[in-house]
């Protein structure tokens, strides 16, 4: 918590950019501080694929999880890729609550 606001980090495949934006808006309007991805590699941000960048972003996202009270998984159609699965495992190992867009 930061003040009276819960901090939530969004996780999921960056192919779901529209859903990330919708969930970010909804959670913010519900009174949460929302931390999201910085780039959408699977939705056109080609910089992600430069040498070493994806690895940096994956590590950075785990630091965003460290900052959060909980994580919210954008699992459209139940899809959870390997990076997101790793983030879920990390969140659980560090005692974070994990919520899902769709039942898991």
Using one digit for the tens of pLDDT, what is the confidence trace for 34-43? 999 998 988 8
Global confidence as pTM: 0.94
Angle at 28 between CA 12 and CA 41, to 5 degrees: 30
Task: List pLDDT tens digits, range 81-99.
Answer: 999 999 999 999 999 999 9
d(CA 4, CA 55): 33
| Strand spans (E) along 1-104 | 7-12, 33-35, 70-74, 97-100
Residues above pLDDT 90, as percent of the chain: 86
Other beta carbons less than 10 A from residue 63's beta carbon: 11
Handedness of CA 76, 6, 45, 59 (dihedral sign): negative
């Amino acid at each position: 918590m930061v003040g009276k606001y819960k901090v939530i980090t969004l996780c999921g495949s960056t192919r779901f950019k529209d859903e990330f934006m919708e969930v970010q808006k909804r959670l913010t309007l519900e009174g949460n501080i929302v931390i999201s991805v910085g780039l959408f590699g699977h939705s056109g941000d080609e910089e992600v694929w430069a040498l070493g960048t994806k690895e940096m972003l994956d590590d950075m996202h785990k630091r965003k999880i460290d900052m959060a009270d909980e994580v919210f998984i954008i699992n459209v159609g139940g899809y959870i890729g390997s990076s997101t699965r790793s983030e879920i495992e990390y969140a659980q190992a560090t005692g974070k609550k994990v919520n899902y867009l769709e039942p898991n």
